[in-house]
Structure 1
Amino acid sequence: MLITLKENLEMAEKGNYAVGAFNVPTLESARAALEAAEELQAPIILAHAEVHNEIMPLEFIGPILVELAKKASVPVTVHLDHGSRFDLIKQAIDIGFTSVMIDASHLPFEENVREVKKVVAYAKERNVSVEAELGVMTDSTIGGGESYDGAEKSEGIYTDPETAKAFVADTAIDALAAAFGTVHGIYLEEPKLDFDRLEQIYQGTGKPIVMHGGSGLKEEDYTQTINAGVRKINYYSYAAKAGAEAVKHYVNHNEHIFYHDITTVGKNAMKQNYQRAIEIFMN
């Protein structure tokens, strides 16, 4: 069942849980995430990240994700992750995505607001939810891009609660991606999460909070973030790593190998990883 992000997160708010948002740049990863959700009868978000266009262009994977969502036995939102270009965001909406993220967080506050409002105006006319980011979500050196020492808190990087309140009021977004200590990619050291800041942002904005860099945390960290207002958890790197490790083991221990065997092994390993994540996110 295809639903909007707003609808999905409203259910999460009532149930005090978070919906897993899984970037699925291949058909195998999409099937793994959806099968995991259907077996657990849990809601899910299938996401396509702009950065993954090099792996699988939006015009190819987008219609597939929408069709999978329509036929699913659980509520599914199809979401564009970290969209930085209006033309790509518009393309996702026109394909049938029910949620988009406009990421203009690298811009000054006023410019960020202006870019977000432009997307909101187009999306709302088409019953599409909008997520935006305030603060800088950085990347680790593994599975991400630029290097960053995520252990050191910086007021210029973390989301400011008062600024977040104004940002949400100005833009009328449906969900806010906030920076409070997580990073994209594989964690190179134990993350230091600012739960007090997270709770202030949630209480001040009255909006569902999105946690990017959601892979690799301790179970108790997930629980604490959910109880503090996180309703959407972006999760990718550790599931992709689990799939790769399963394929590596299979290749190293089997003599006669066909490509379809590798895709099946990878899909099944990712599915198990997704199922464990969903169980934790459902709180």
Structure 2
Amino acid sequence: MLVTLKELLKDAKRTPYAVGAINVPNLEAIRAVVEAAEELNSPVILQHAEVHENLVRLEEIGPVMLDYARRAKVPVAVHLDHGASFDMCVQAIRLGFTSIMYDASSKPYEVNLAETKEIVKIAHAAGVSVEAELGHIFTSAVGGGEGRGSDSSEDYDDLEDVYTDPDMAKAFVEETGVDCLAIGFGTVHGIYLKEPKLDLDRILQIKNKIDIPFVMHGGSGVSEADYKTAIRNGICKINYYTYMNKAGGKGVIECLKKMIAGETVFFDELSLAATAEMKKNVKEAMKIFMNP
């Protein structure tokens, strides 16, 4: 059942729980995520990240994502993740995506504000939800995929410069009218090379200023305890991809071991093995997200 992001997160915020938002740059990932969500009777968000255009183009994967969402037995939003241009956002809206993220977080605040405000007008006119980002999410050297190089909390003298400022978030949300906000509080895109320094109280500080759903980017690799605290503090959408993707690679490796042992291995076996491992991994994450 295809629904908007705003609709999904409204219930998540009230309960509370978090909805998994999974990047799906191939058919195996789409199948794994939808099957996992159906088996757990959990809502889910299928995402296409603009940085994955090198793997598959939006116009190719988008219709497949929408088809699976419409036929799913659970509510599914179809979302553009980290849209960095108006053209990409408009393309997603025209395809039928029910939400978009316009990411101008690397630009000066006033530019981020003005550009996000404009894309909100366009999207809302089409009934499409909008996510924006304020603050900085760190990027690992391994699997980060955000195209901004790698960094960590150790690279900054004052984390107040990169974590989301509560007062700034309040002003930003009130002026732009975004439906949810990705906030920076210490998470990392990609594989965690060391324990992250999460400021989980910052989520509450921002929540005390604005009453909208918050988004955790760099969700893979966070501990179960920190997930649950973050959700109770106001996180309603958790972006998850790297560790599911790694699990898919594990499934392929297990198949290839048979080949090394002299058995014949066909490509469809690799596809099914990757799907099964990704499904197993994302189910475990969803169980945590739904039961904080």
Deviation at 1:149, TM superposition (A): 2.2
Deviation at 1:245, TM superposition (A): 1.3
Deviation at 1:281, TM superposition (A): 0.2
Native 8 Å contact 1:150 1:182 kept in 2: no
Deviation >4 Å, runs of 4+: none
Partner Cα distance (1:118, 1:128) in 2: 13
Q: Deviations over 1:190-229 (max 9, x none)?
A: 0111011111112211110000000011110110000000
Q: Deviations over 1:119-139 (max 9, x none)?
A: 101100111000000011221
Aligned to 1:218: 223
| Partner of residue 264 from structure 2, selected from 244, 248, 256 | 256
Native 8 Å contact 2:139 2:152 kept in 1: no
Partner Cα distance (1:147, 1:39) in 2: 36
Aligned to 2:194: 189
Q: Deviations over 1:71-101 (max 9, x none)?
A: 1110000000000010010000000000000
Q: How many residues are treated as equivalent by the alignment?
A: 283
Aligned to 1:201: 206
Q: Deviations over 1:22-69 (max 9, x none)?
A: 000001001100000001110000000000011010000001111111
Aligned to 1:136: 136
Structure 1 unmatched runs, 5+: none
When normalised by structure 1's length, the TM-score is: 0.98
Native 8 Å contact 2:248 2:277 kept in 1: yes
Superposition pairs for residues 173-188 of structure 1, below 5 Å? 173-188=178-193
Native 8 Å contact 1:82 1:103 kept in 2: yes
Structure 2 unmatched runs, 5+: none
| Partner of residue 150 from structure 2, selected from 139, 147, 150 | 147
Aligned to 1:63: 63
Deviation at 1:118, TM superposition (A): 1.2
Deviation at 1:147, TM superposition (A): 1.6
Which letter does structure 1 place at the counterpart of 2:76? V
Which letter does structure 2 place at the counterpart of 1:155? E
Partner Cα distance (2:79, 2:252) in 1: 28
Native 8 Å contact 2:17 2:236 kept in 1: yes
Q: CA RMSD in A?
A: 1.0
Q: Deviations over 1:220-244 (max 9, x none)?
A: 0110000000000000000000110
Partner Cα distance (1:202, 1:105) in 2: 19
Q: Is the partner of 2:218 in helix, strand or coil?
A: coil
Kindly, what percent of the aligned residue pairs are identical?
A: 52
Greater Cα offset, 200-209 or 51-60: 200-209
Native 8 Å contact 2:247 2:281 kept in 1: yes
Aligned to 2:283: 275
Aligned to 1:26: 26
Which letter does structure 2 place at the counterpart of 1:181? G
